Chains A and B, each alone.
Chain A
Amino acid sequence: MTPPLLSLSALTKAYPGVVANDSVSLEISAGQVHALLGENGAGKSTLVKMIYGLVKPDTGTMQMNGAPFTPSEPRAARAAGVGMVFQHFSLFDAMTVAENIALGMEHAPKLSALSAQITKVSEAYGLPLSPDRIVGDLSAGERQRVEIIRCLLQEPKLLIMDEPTSVLTPQEVGILFKTLRKLSAEGTAILYISHKLEEIRTLCDHATILRLGKVVGECTPRDTTAREMAEMMVGKLLQTPTRAGQTAGDTVLTLTNLTAPAPNAFGMALKDISLELRSGEILGIGGVAGNGQDELLAALSGERPVARGMISYKGTDIGPHGPTLRRKAGLLAAPEERMGHAAAPDMSLTENAMLTGAARMGLDKSGFLDWPAARTFAEAVIAKFDVRTPSAASAARSLSGGNLQKFVIGREVMQAPEVFVVNQPTWGVDASAAADIRQALLDLAKNGAALIVISQDLDELMEISDRFAALNEGRLTPPRPAQGITVEEIGLMMGGAHDMEVAHV
């Protein structure tokens, strides 16, 4: 019997205070599509970083084709035939596609020859891409293609894909899967990291499930139900949010042809966005990343005020108002990026509570700040939202992502907003914290607030939205009731596949 392409035995990697991988073993054979399944923090990233030479295991061994495999750096891993497509692309915005690809190759040919190769490979695998375009101008799906082609040009024996579909429309996912199946048929092994169960059932031959750094199970996804896999992955029963099912009240927020220029060269302009939001309802806004989500949130929060007549809140024209005035009036927001945008990393939770709570919670007394009151407020948020932290004096950056997100959402929710706009409320948050956050949003709506939830997680939007709309190239589709909407319809609202025919999955 031939040895497997890659076998890992008893890999262990510990960081201060946490064992990221605890005696993890698995085998991948040539041509296999192998899923690595687990929640955030289960140790998936650490495991693939070891395979890719970014991290060295503390103990344990790796073998490739029966020979010891100890990559000391990514270069060595690539030379051994391992390619990796990162979740957050390691691309250079100001450079062309060809230059980006050349940077990832050991012995890159001249740019003209390389461009020809890129065109050839992209056609062979159904991934159209022009080598001369500037990467900063590409859509998320196209940027992923750059990464994939960069790997394919090295003719890898093993291709690692880290959460590849989180930035794609359903149609683009279909195209990606076709490419991956073709590669697998040609003998390339694929290590596919995801927490999306249906995807894994569609694509993968074999799955290894990680929880808290340990292998907790293996299965053949086609023969296993999503529910069974979810239970292995999570290890406990989750509390599913309860839908409020309320009828909507009066209109509180009206956007009329909201238009705003792009904030920078790689940003997105908002074009003619109109909608009406009523109290007690949740409007879910989907869309592929980079289609105006950040910009829409900034326009609504007041971080980038807009012209008169575009935003009306309870009959007042608040377009030119800044964040402080809007907060006082009851319009609150929470941006996607917790660290550095929603919260100041080096400041304490008390100071971060002051950050957005000053105006509405009366912490600002004619310019002078009431720190004891801010501390009380921060402690209330910590208690109510189960934020795990030694005290309110801890720096925001010392909190885990999920805990900080609970604090950031809690900080706004506890100010009793009348309109709450949130972008990616559960991004990078573990499943139980995500469930808590969704429940908090639903409770807010039940109590009469109007919510706009912007998210790239369609399952989440389907779970909590009353109405659904999608952002595409800075435009918003007309909202429609979320009940009974199909994945195909959502995909078309999100703009279908960028620049390519729609494949049939």
Chain B
Amino acid sequence: MDLSAINPILFIAGFFVAATPLIFAAIGELVVERTGVLNLGVEGMMIIGAICGFATAVETGSPLLGFAAAAVGGAALSLLFAFLTQVMLANQVASGLALTLFGLGFSALLGQSYVGIKPPRMGDVNFGPLADIPVLGPILLSHDIIVYFGLALVVAVWAVLKYTRIGLTLRAVGENHDAAHALGFKVKRIRTLAIMFGGACAGMGGAYISLIRVPQWTEGMTAGIGWIALALVVFASWRPLRVLAGAYLFGGLVQLQLNLQGAGVAIPVEYLAMSPYVITIIVLVFLSRSRSAAPGSLGRIFHASS
């Protein structure tokens, strides 16, 4: 075992890369859940985003176009969920599961001819001389644009939910959909838009895995990150800034686990690989006492009967 092989600066900088897919998926799901909808299809939307982004980036040579395509792909898949739950009034848990199962299969179908290809690389943002600041430069200012976009997205969601009329409306719909309906808000329309936003975010998170973090395409490559994102929303008590904290904490753990594997620690690889899931369970247990933070209408079906 050789722990000195771990470069602390690269190690910490790696937090950001490990956390970004989670940030996207979790912040999207957070908005969805704040409107009272539980979409368990995050994993499916991520993997669809991963392949849409990958294929588009390979075909066009532009990773940025890839991310755009991933957002479109994720949102398109989420529309299926929106149709089932908002129009056909189907059970949200079952529909979310269906979305995940379908997404995993469909992505495998789409990705058949992309196995084993390298995607075009995305460059880091050039911060000029700022990037040369010791320690902080390599940790904070040596990333691609998507990392910063994810950060900005979380802050934007936080501000919108807290300070704007749109945010107030979203929260109202999630808190009590009957009351919101009585006040004349279009509950289903608002929820559908939120679901699509969640789908787009999950899609971009998936593309970050296939285009930057791994970077290549393999079937089922999201490996439960979508589910961890769902856990993260609970962890964050439905508050955007806590999503950020949770994602970095989790990104750090994944990073540590990978580095330990690399350094040849005397723990079998399998046990290191299962640690993120075990830790997620432990964190969930500690946080599940404060469930009252959940939106009042979460998971309930809305049908205007008047």
Residues of A within 8 A of B (CB): 49, 53-55, 73-75, 78, 86, 89-95, 99, 102-104, 108, 264-265
Q: How far is the CA of A265 from the CA of B295 in the complex (A)?
A: 13
Given B169, B178, B184, B292, which contacts A265 in the complex, CB threshold below 8 Å?
Answer: B292
Complex Cα spacing A75 to B182, Å: 10
Leading 8 A-B pairs by shortest Cβ distance: A90-B179, A90-B182, A74-B184, A92-B175, A75-B184, A265-B292, A103-B172, A92-B176
User: Which of A75, A90, A99, A265 has the most chain B CB atoms inside 10 A of its CB?
Assistant: A90
Contact in complex: B168, A102 (CB < 8 Å): yes
Inter-chain contact B292/A86, CB cutoff 8 Å: no
Interface string of B157-180 (1 = CB under 8 A from A): 000000001001101100110111
Most interface-central of A73, A86, A91, A94 (chain B CB within 10 A): A94
The distance from the CB of A87 to the nearest CB of chain B, in whole angstroms, is 11
Contact B178 A90 (CB under 8 A): yes
Judge whether A104 and B183 touch: CB under 8 Å. Answer: yes
A49 / chain B contacts, CB cutoff of 8 Å = 306
**For B168, what are the chain A residues with a Cβ–Cβ distance below 8 Å?**
99, 102-103
- Contact between chains at B292 and A92 (CB < 8 Å): no
Contact, CB under 8 Å: A95 / B172: yes
Can you report 13 residue pairs joining A to B where beta carbons are below 8 Å apart?
Answer: A74-B183, A74-B184, A90-B178, A90-B179, A90-B180, A92-B171, A92-B176, A93-B176, A94-B175, A94-B295, A95-B172, A103-B169, A264-B292
The reply to whether B165 and A95 contact each other, CB–CB distance below 8 Å, is: no
- Best-buried of B168, B183, B295, B296 by chain A (most CB within 10 Å): B183
Collect the chain B residues with CB atoms within 8 Å of residue A265's CB.
292
In the complex, chain B residues whose CB is within 8 Å of the CB of A264: 292
Nearest-neighbour CB distance to chain A for B34, whole angstroms, equals 11
Contacts of A103 in B (CB 8 A): 168-169, 172, 180, 183
Bound form: Cα–Cα A75–B184 in Å: 6
When C-beta atoms are compared, the residue in chain B nearest to A49 turns out to be B306
Q: Which A residues are in CB contact (< 8 Å) with B180?
A: 90, 92, 103
Note all chain A residues with C-beta closer than 8 A to B169.
103
Q: In the complex the two chains form, is A90's CB within 8 Å of B292's CB?
A: no
Q: Mark B192-207, 1 if CB is under 8 A from A, else 0.
A: 0000000000000000
**Residues A92 and B172 in contact in the complex (CB < 8 Å), given A49-B306, A55-B306, A265-B292:** yes
Q: Please, how many angstroms separate the alpha-carbon atoms of A90 and B173 in the complex?
A: 11
The residues of B that contact A93 with a CB separation of less than 8 Å are: 175-176, 296
Contact A86/B296 with A92-B176, A94-B175, A99-B168 known, Cβ cut-off 8 Å: no
Q: A94 — which chain B residues lie within 8 A by C-beta?
A: 175, 295-296
CA distance in complex: A99, B169 (Å): 10
Residue among B171, B176, B306 making CB contact with A90, cutoff 8 Å: B176
Give the CA-CA distance A378 to B165 in the complex, in Å: 52
Interface residues of B in 279-306 (CB under 8 A from A): 292, 295-296, 306
Q: Which residues on B sit within 8 Å (CB–CB) of A74? A: 182-184
Q: How many residues of B contact A (CB 8 A)?
A: 17
- Is A91 a contact of B184 with CB atoms below 8 Å? no
Q: Determine the residue in chain B with the shortest Cβ distance to A45.
A: B306
Q: Establish whether residues B179 and A91, one from each chain, have CB atoms under 8 Å apart when the complex forms.
A: yes
Min C-beta distance of B35 to chain A, whole Å? 13
B165, B179, B180, B296: which has the most chain A beta carbons within 10 Å? B179
Q: What is the bound-complex CA distance between A14 and B178, given in angstroms?
A: 23
Distance A270 CA – B172 CA, assembled complex (angstroms): 30
State in angstroms the CA–CA spacing of A89 and B178 once bound together.
Answer: 10
Inter-chain contact A91/B176, CB cutoff 8 Å: yes
The CA-CA distance from A419 to B293 in the complex, in Å, is 39
Smallest beta-carbon distance B301→chain A, Å: 13
Q: Kindly list chain A residues whose C-beta atoms are within 8 Å of the C-beta of B176.
A: 90-93
Given the contacts A91-B176, A93-B175, A94-B175, A54 and B306 also touching, CB distance less than 8 Å:
yes
Query: Which of chain B's residues have a CB closer than 8 A to the CB of A55?
Result: 306
Distance (whole angstroms) from the CB of B6 to the closest CB of chain A = 44
User: Are B182's CB and A95's CB within 8 A?
Assistant: no
B168 to chain A, nearest CB (A): 6
Distance (whole angstroms) from the CB of B166 to the closest CB of chain A:
12
Closest-by-CB residue of B relative to A150 is B183
Compute how far the CA of A108 lies from the CA of B172 in the bound complex, rounded to whole angstroms. Answer: 15
| Contacting residues, chain A, for B175 (C-beta < 8 A) | 92-95
CB distance from A53 to the nearest CB of B (A): 8
Q: B184–A73 contact, CB under 8 A?
A: yes
- Which residues 123-175 of B have a CB within 8 angstroms of A? 165, 168-169, 171-172, 175
CA distance A238 to B277 in the complex (A): 67
Residue among B165, B171, B182 with most chain A CB within 10 A: B182
A91 to B176, alpha carbons, bound, how many Å?
A: 8
A183 to B183, CA, bound (A): 23
CB distance B183 to A86 under 8 Å?
Answer: no
Q: Give A451 to B72 CA distance when docked, in angstroms.
A: 63
Q: How far is the CA of A75 from the CA of B168 in the complex (A)?
A: 17
Assess whether A90 is in contact with B183, with CB atoms less than 8 Å apart. yes
Set of chain B residues within 8 Å of A108, measured between Cβ atoms: 165
Bound-complex Cα distance A23 to B219 (A): 65
B182 surroundings in chain A (CB, below 8 A)? 54, 74, 86, 90
Complex Cα spacing A104 to B169, Å: 10
Chain B residues with CB below 8 A from A102, complex form: 165, 168
Q: How many whole Å from A26's CB to the nearest CB in chain B?
A: 21
Q: Which residues of B contact A86 (CB under 8 A)?
A: 182
Query: B141: shortest Cβ distance to chain A, in Å?
Result: 36
**A100 closest partner in B (C-beta):** B172
Write the chain A residue with the least CB distance to B163. Answer: A111
> Please, which residues of chain A bring their CB within 8 A of the CB of B184?
53, 73-75, 78
Alpha-carbon gap, A103 to B172, bound state (A) = 8
- Looking at the assembled complex, report how far the CB atom of A183 sits from the nearest CB atom of chain B, in whole angstroms: 21
